[in-house]
Amino acid sequence: MEPADLAGRRTGKRTTRFTGLMRSGLPSSPSQIDTAVEPLIHEHRRFYPRADVDVLRRAFAVAELYHRGQTRKSGAPYVTHPLAVAILLAQMGVDTATLAAALLHDTVEDTDLTSGQIHADFGEEVAVLVDGVTKLDGSKWGEGAEAETFRKMILAAADDLRVFVIKLADRVHNLRTLGFHPKRSKRERIARQSMELLVPFAERLGIYVFKRELEDVAFATLQPEAEQAIAAAMEATAEDRAAALRPLVARLEKALADANLRAEVVVRDRHRYSIYQDHRRNPVQPTDALQPGEVSRITVLVDGTPEECYVALGVVHGVWRPLPGQMKDFIALPKYNMYRSLHTSVVTGAGTLELAIRTPSMHRIADYGIVSQIQDAATASRREARQAARRPELEWLRNLLAWQAHAPAADFLASLRVDLHGSGIVSFTPSGEVVPLPRGATAVDFAYAIDTDLGHTAIGAVANGRLVQMTAALENGQVVEILTGPGSGPADEWLDAARTGRARVEIQQWLAGRRNEAAGQAGRRLVAGALTEAGVDLLDLETDGAALTAARELEYHDLESLYSAVAAGTVTLTDLTARLLADAPRSNIGDTGQAPNA
């Protein structure tokens, strides 16, 4: 959602049920609604010719009614934003329920429409999606609103990944109109958040069309001079690069045809941010003569089986010499985001070129990721679309769910950024289990990624046969074994060494528990000493329940919390001792054989 001009936003509570509004007629005429929503319906019917598009008309009518009087920073009516988001998703082939939710995605957050009304008039599926992308109220949640909103979105996406899909489309359109924000600081904050949090989510879901656009617009906002230099250099060398690539493409097409492969050779320029990443040490200047391999990528689309992709790879290597160690097989071993292709780098007359080889279905997944799978399922049935949007087997999502509930808001976003960082390593257990970790991860992160108890009992690690400390950084491809021992536990320095959110949260909880236990023991000694001077044994009061009763009266759920409060000074020793002595059976006083102080 982009902050709107809120003047006149709430001109009065709309408490009428929407079904009643539909029966009595909406303020906008049906012809106006049809005209506005026609581009959306046109795109949707390309994928779903028999879709119930009346749902989309109704959803747009509700969005227009409730957003009426709101405007974008550009001055356009606010409803143009959810409509643009829905059209963006329709062009990708998402299902009808997702489009309805996209049209309504800001209504609960910015108007008087309630989730209950959406549920009643559009069903549970649409209501859940809208709720998943609705921000929490900053006036109620304060500085933690952003963190808690992302936490809420992750929990919703665990049940339905379409929540992420809508959120990403929402942010793509907001970035397209980011220039209308008058404050540079606000533009940069939105761009930075997009780069740090939403780009990784787009990559995790395999939606590279969103990832590329989010990165380029955020890059242009945060580093405009560098982005403009790359754009100028790309434009200046476009004709020369095209001329150099034409004969190479023709040669490859002929070789593929000679091998009886039906294949299309596609040349596509890389997006500007990826070029920037390759030239960090030597930034691109506007006058630089960028080579074809620096800007362009060649994709071979094999109209056949995955096995024929390997045949095409052999053809490519027969035409040009491959660079050693650069071939990657993501068909046999797909990426975590379902991406499948063969990658190789070859030496040509125009320099080094990178190629990807895949089938058309792999190509669609390479661009649209989870959306492609949901779209394929939705053509069968609505139920299968919902099932395709539930992916509990996704390792990265399981990892987030494992630790997010225990992370305080202040630490949550920082840990989330680390866990989502695209640049990572792969390590292995001795049995061959793959353990993906962020770059810079240590044996501490590895242990907790396997199991919490393994982390808590770890005393060291063996990486590729060599003994290493738990705080040692791991390298890509290492086989790691965790050594354990009785009576061990996380050390304070582990917290500094941990990179993953799960490891940090688990260590923080363990250390906090240990501190609470130590404080509880210190507090108990203070209370026991004071009672002993009064001739009362604290153990007797704990045994007969008098001590626990006192704890509950003071709103502490157990004795350790009470004693910790005594050690911290939250509960005074004098007050607690007086309370316990007042409740103590008279027979307990003096049992220690010591006389009470006068």
What are 435-490's pLDDT values in tens digits?
888 888 999 999 998 988 999 999 999 999 999 999 999 998 899 999 998 877 88
User: Span 354-358, mean pLDDT?
Assistant: 97
Taking only the tens place, the pLDDT of each residue in 118-176 is 999 999 999 999 999 988 765 556 666 777 888 888 888 878 889 999 999 999 999 99
Confidence of residue 115 (pLDDT cuts 50, 70, 90): very high
Total number of residues shown for the chain: 598
Active site residue 308: no
Q: Does domain 231-368 have CATH number 3.30.70.250?
A: no
pLDDT value of residue 35: 87
Contact, 312 vs 299, CB < 8 A?
A: no
Taking only the tens place, the pLDDT of each residue in 520-571 is 888 888 988 888 888 888 888 888 888 888 888 888 888 888 888 888 888 8
Active site residue 213: no
pLDDT value of residue 31: 78
Interior CA angle at 128 toward 127 and 132, to 5°?
Answer: 120
d(CA 247, CA 538): 91
Candidate from 159-173, 221-235, 350-364, 584-598 with smallest mean pLDDT: 584-598
What stretch(es) of the chain map to CATH 1.10.3210.10? 18-207
Name, in order, each residue with C-beta under 8 angstroms of 459's C-beta and a sequence gap of 6 or more: 470, 483, 484, 485, 488
pLDDT value of residue 5: 37
In what order do the strands lie in the sheet containing 458-463? 466-468, 458-463, 480-484
What is the four-CA torsion angle of 97, 103, 105, 110, rounded to 10 degrees?
A: -150
User: Span 326-336, mean pLDDT?
Assistant: 89
| Percent of the chain whose predicted confidence (pLDDT) is above 70 | 86
pLDDT value of residue 393: 54
Candidate from 209-223, 271-285, 434-448 with smallest mean pLDDT: 434-448
- Whether residue 584 has pLDDT greater than 70: no
Taking only the tens place, the pLDDT of each residue in 306-323 is 999 999 999 999 999 999
pLDDT value of residue 311: 97
User: Span 411-433, mean pLDDT?
Assistant: 76
d(CA 404, CA 321): 48
User: Span 267-284, mean pLDDT?
Assistant: 92
- Whether residue 400 has pLDDT greater than 80: no
pLDDT value of residue 138: 54
Candidate from 63-77, 170-184, 212-226, 484-498 with smallest mean pLDDT: 484-498
- Whether residue 10 has pLDDT greater than 90: no
What are the structure tokens assigned to 306, written together?
Answer: 């995955």
d(CA 284, CA 277): 10
Higher pLDDT, 594 or 218: 218
- Whether residue 224 has pLDDT greater than 60: yes
d(CA 534, CA 537): 9
pLDDT value of residue 500: 85
Candidate from 158-167, 260-269, 300-309, 402-411 with smallest mean pLDDT: 402-411
Q: Give the chain's mean pLDDT.
A: 85
pLDDT value of residue 558: 82
- Nearest to 160, CA basis, from 397, 409, 372, 420: 397
What are the structure tokens assigned to 364, written together?
Answer: 């669609």
Confidence of residue 388 (pLDDT cuts 50, 70, 90): low
What stretch(es) of the chain map to CATH 3.30.460.10? 231-368
Query: Which among 197-206, 359-368, 539-548 has the top mean pLDDT?
Result: 359-368
- Catalytic annotation, pick one of 109, 269, 533, 540: 109
User: Span 278-294, mean pLDDT?
Assistant: 91
User: Tokens 């054989």 sit at which residue?
Assistant: 593
Higher pLDDT, 298 or 426: 298
Q: What is the domain class of 18-207 according to CATH?
A: mainly alpha
Higher pLDDT, 178 or 597: 178
- Nearest to 399, CA basis, from 454, 339, 335, 449: 449
- Catalytic annotation, pick one of 43, 95, 110, 160: 110
| Percent of the chain whose predicted confidence (pLDDT) is above 90 | 51
352 DSSP β-pair partners: 347
- Whether residue 219 has pLDDT greater than 90: yes
- Whether residue 73 has pLDDT greater than 70: yes
When the candidates are 3.10.20.30, 3.30.70.120, 3.90.1150.10, 1.25.40.10, the CATH number that belongs to 423-499 is 3.10.20.30
- Whether residue 595 has pLDDT greater than 60: no
Which phi and psi angles does 77 have, rounded to 5°? Answer: -55, 140
